[in-house]
Every structure is written in structure tokens, then in C-alpha cells.
Chain A
Amino acid sequence: KQEVTQIPAALSVPEGENLVLNCSFTDSAIYNLQWFRQDPGKGLTSLLLIQSSQREQTSGRLNASLDKSSGRSTLYIAASQPGDSATYLCAVQSTGYSTLTFGKGTMLLVSP
């Protein structure tokens, strides 16, 4: 059974810092990996999707990498802003399944 772990569970940084959020998964047989953002009391917003054949994806200040063999993904946020404050969730779609397995998330607070 696929398990997804996100470290750290919470992170507080001052505005302007570059930061890295980590995601690890136990079964490397994945189809894709997706990063989401969740604001308090809101739904999930898809940030980036990385196919298993890809090494990274970029969108603006966000860069997600994937190392399938080691079961790891990182989400890099450059020049963080207070508006980046949210919970970031990593989700994996395993080969042979059409459903996502989610991590518990990293709660990010960027202070001005």
C-alpha cells in the first residue's frame, strides 16, 4: 500500500526566503505526482503535476522535482511571500490505480 509522508509538518519563514518542502513515497511505481495548495477552509488548488517520466516542473516561483527511484519529490518556492501561506499537499498516483494517495501536508507561514 502506498504511503506518502511530508516533512516538515509545519514551517515558518520570513518573507523573501527560498524554501523547500519535502515529500516521500514508499512505492516507486507511480504514474504521476501532484502538488496542491490548500488555504484555510478552502478546497485544494492544483499547483504542479509531474509525470513519472519527468524530472521537474516549473510554474512561476514554484519548482517541483521528482526522483522516482528514491521515492522523493521536493517543492521549491523562491522568494516567498505572505500570500504563499497555506498548507501544501503532495499526492501520488500509483501505477495500476487511478486514485491519489495524499500526504498530511506541510503548513507554511510566511511572515512579513
Chain B
Amino acid sequence: DAGVIQSPRHEVTEMGQEVTLRCKPISGHNSLFWYRQTMMRGLELLIYFNNNVPIDDSGMPEDRFSAKMPNASFSTLKIQPSEPRDSAVYFCASSLTPRDEQFFGPGTRLTVL
């Protein structure tokens, strides 16, 4: 199994630009999580999906952030417009069910100038 796949691995963009992060969960996993990691705040959940349906998006910072899961094998996290304070590492994780062990992807390091 290839594990959770994220792309791109690194993204550098300018303030105001749209950024799209992509995630492919482990095949057969029904739950998908998006996390953000910063030095100041550590790892925080942004949103999670179960069976492609968003269940908890209380961690999404504001309306500039949106996430979709059009099918069981693909999810996107979009930031529009991006701001320097969005600079962080964004992780995607998946699990068989919401209660099971979570497996993380390698992350996308986002830098907004």
C-alpha cells in the first residue's frame, strides 16, 4: 500500500493567490482528516470527512478555507485568498473508521509570502 499521498509537497505562493492542496487516502479507508501544524499551535484538526461527507469543520479558520471530497479516493483543501499567516505544514490522514488508528501523509509545506 502506498499510504496516504499528498501533493504538492512544497508550495510557495504570494499573498492573495489561491492554493489547492490534494490528498489521496489509503484505499478502503472511509475517514479522512485535514490537519495543520505550526510551531506556535502544534497540530490542529481543520476538518474531517466520513464516507465523503464533511462531519466536523469547526477547525476551519475562516471562510477563506474550503475542503471537498468528491469521491472516496480524493480530497482537496483550498485557501482563497491566501495570507502569510496560513504558512504551515498541512497534513492529511485517513482511517478505516473515525475511531480507528489514523495514518498520516507526508504533508504539504505551504509558504505564503
State the A residues within 8 Å of B (CB): 31-32, 34, 36, 41-46, 49, 89, 91, 93, 97-100, 102-105
Known: A99-B45, A102-B42. A46 touches B106 (CB 8 A): no
Is A34's CB under 8 angstroms from B101's CB?
Answer: yes
Is B42's CB under 8 angstroms from A99's CB?
Answer: no
A49 to chain B, nearest CB (A): 5
The 8 closest A-B pairs by CB, nearest first: A98-B98, A44-B104, A102-B43, A43-B106, A43-B104, A99-B45, A104-B42, A49-B101
Is B42's CB under 8 angstroms from A105's CB?
Answer: yes
* Interchain residue pairs with CB less than 8 A apart (21): A31-B99, A34-B102, A36-B104, A42-B107, A43-B105, A43-B106, A44-B91, A44-B93, A89-B43, A93-B99, A98-B31, A98-B48, A98-B50, A98-B55, A98-B56, A98-B98, A98-B99, A100-B102, A102-B43, A102-B44, A103-B42
B41-62 CB contacts (< 8 Å) to partner A? 42-45, 48, 50, 55-56, 59
* Further contacts, 9 of them, CB under 8 A, given A34-B101, A98-B48, A100-B102: A31-B99, A44-B104, A45-B104, A93-B99, A98-B31, A99-B56, A102-B43, A102-B44, A103-B42
B74 near A: Cβ within 8 Å? no
Question: Interface size bucket, B side?
Answer: 20 to 34
B65 near A: Cβ within 8 Å? no
A-B contact count (CB 8 A): 48
A98 to B47, CA, bound (A): 11
A54 to chain B, nearest CB (A): 13
